[in-house]
Amino acid sequence: MAADKKRKHTLASSFKFGFEGIAAAAVKERNVKIHIAISVFVILSGFVFSISKYEWIAIILSIGGMISMEMMNTAIERTVDMYTKEYHPLAKQAKDIAAGAVLVFAISSVIIGFIIFLPRLLAWF
Ligand SMILES: Nc1ncnc2c1ncn2[C@@H]1O[C@H](COP(=O)(O)OP(=O)(O)OP(=O)(O)O)[C@@H](O)[C@H]1O
């Protein structure tokens, strides 16, 4: 029966699979690499401008959400590609909607970045 065949994994192995996923995305996905590079820059800027605790919370949520969103987009792309290499309108919708989700999060992250850093940058010059 299907339920009997279902494999059980320990919590430790589930974490291991998760870390393997992070490593695969960080090594293979250009967009994830770009997000990691931008995140390092934003974190350094946070220290340079001594941002507040609540601003750090907004930045951490934005960075974590952005990288997670990009990884989900990659997972959807991989799943669609595994299912079909042929043109299919639903494959296009799946990929475009996933890409749109990344874009929505990216726009809100950029707005958060502007709210936090723009006044400080303006005060600097
Ligand atoms: N099987 C398919 N059927 C229909 N349209 C597709 C299919 N595969 C891809 N597309 C269209 O082509 C676009 C680009 O697809 P692709 O798989 O190269 O993703 P991408 O967004 O360029 O990926 P990456 O994030 O790796 O740059 C998709 O957003 C989608 O509109």
Supply the DSSP string of 36-65, one letter for each residue: HHHHHHHHHHHHHTT--HHHHHHHHHHHHH
Within-domain flag for 98: yes
pLDDT given at position 8: 77
Determine the atom of ligand 1 nearest the C-alpha atom of 77: 17
Separation between Cα atoms, residue 11 and residue 6, nearest integer Å: 16
The pLDDT confidence band at residue 48, using thresholds 50, 70 and 90, is: very high
Say what the pLDDT of residue 124 is.
Answer: 82
Q: What is the dihedral of CA 55, 59, 60, 61, to 10 degrees?
A: 100
Residue 80 CA to ligand 1 center (angstroms) comes to 9
Q: Is residue 110 part of a domain?
A: yes
Domain of residue 99: give its range. Answer: 11-124
Q: Cα of 107 to ligand 1 centre, how many Å?
A: 21
Q: Does residue 100 belong to any structural domain of this protein? A: yes
Which residue's alpha carbon is nearest to atom 12 within ligand 1?
92
In the predicted structure, residue 65 carries a pLDDT above the cut 70: yes
> What total number of domains does the chain contain?
1
Residue at 17 is within a domain: yes
CA distance 33 to 73: 14
Residue nearest atom 15 of ligand 1, based on CA coordinates: 95
Domain membership flag for residue 1:
no
Mutation probe of ligand 1 site: the residue of 35, 71, 72, 77 with most atoms within 8 A of C-beta: 77
The CATH number of residue 80's host domain is 1.10.287.3610
- Report, as residue numbers or ranges, the catalytic residues: 70
Token pair of 46, please?
Answer: 């946070």
Closest to 73 in 3D by CA, of 95, 50, 52: 95
| pTM check: above 0.90 | no
3-state secondary structure of 119: helix
Which atom from ligand 1 is nearest to the alpha carbon of 85?
1
**Ligand 1 atom index nearest CA of 74:** 25
